[in-house]
Amino acid sequence: MSVTWSLRKTDAQGSADGEVNPGPATTSRLRIWITAALGIAAIASVDFMSGVELRVFPLYFAPISLVAWRAGRSAALIAAAFCQTP
């Protein structure tokens, strides 16, 4: 069994030869925001179409809690601000 070691110089982000690769946290956070925005938009459209006959405001908890869990409290407050009705 042989082990091969690489002696290439890497930068602070761990990429070689000056390549810039977004880290998994960046792409994951973007994916969470997109998923939450689509969820909020879907719930808002159902809320708008149903009028006062059906209360769907508890459904907003799912995308807000997803953002809070993955991106933090301040991001959850921003997502909650998008869920407010005028």
Q: Is 7 a member of any domain?
A: no
**8-46, pLDDT tens digit by residue?**
555 555 555 555 555 566 668 889 999 999 999 999 999
Q: Is 41 a member of any domain?
A: yes
Q: Is 77 a member of any domain?
A: yes
CA 17, 20, 23, 28 dihedral sign is negative
Q: Is 74 a member of any domain?
A: yes
d(CA 50, CA 60): 15
Q: Is 4 a member of any domain?
A: no
Q: Is 47 a member of any domain?
A: yes
pLDDT of 86 over the 60 cut: yes
The tally of domains found in the chain comes to: 1
Mean pLDDT score across all residues of the chain: 80
Provide the whole-model pTM: 0.66
pLDDT of 70 over the 60 cut: yes
Give the domain extent around 30.
Answer: 25-82
Question: What token pair was written down for 14?
Answer: 């761990």
Rounded to 10°, the helix 24-50/73-82 angle is: 30
Q: Which residues of 35-66 are buried (b: 16+ CB within 10 A; e: fewer)?
A: ebeebbeebbeebeeeeeeeeeeebbeebbeb
Q: Is 29 a member of any domain?
A: yes
